[in-house]
Amino acid sequence: MTPLEFIRPDEPQYAALPPLSPAVRVGNLVFVSGLPGFDRKGGLSVGDFPAQMRQAMANVGTVLREAGAGWGRVAKVNVLLTRAGDYEAMNRIYAEHFPDGRYPARTTAIVAALPRPDFLLEIECVAVIG
């Protein structure tokens, strides 16, 4: 049976998460949970989409590194937005993490709400190790 490795970076923003693992590694795959834009102190830039997007991407990047991967090894991303008007800004900030233009497969959905009313987005992904 393939073992599961539960990934939780030793940083304050991950301690405040609900009962979930920020990521689970199974074999050479890493499944990253949907993460919002909490900063290191557990704060959130309320109403500021670019700040939340940049922080969410940084949070996912931290989890990927902890698991032994990086943005260049991501195969699939799901982005959940609460406001359709943030789509263009999301694309600009997202593209900054893939300077070579090699983008993972991605689904972007506009959702009615996320678990906290101040969350403007959540990002999850699957990466390949090795």
Q: In this structure, which CATH number among 3.30.70.890, 2.40.30.10, 3.30.1330.40, 3.40.50.2000 belongs to the domain 4-128?
A: 3.30.1330.40
What stretch of H or E contains 128? strand 121-128
Tell me the domain boundaries of the chain: 4-128
What pTM did the predictor assign?
0.94
Could you read off the pLDDT of 98-122 as tens digits, one per residue? 999 999 999 999 999 999 999 999 9
Could you read off the pLDDT of 58-72 as tens digits, one per residue? 999 999 999 999 999
Q: Average of pLDDT values for 84-106? A: 97
pLDDT in the model for residue 10: 82
How many CB atoms are closer than 10 A to CB 37? 26
Q: Take residue 13 and report the two structure tokens written for it.
A: 């923003």
Sheet harboring 105-110: ordered strands across? 4-7, 23-26, 29-35, 121-128, 74-81, 105-110
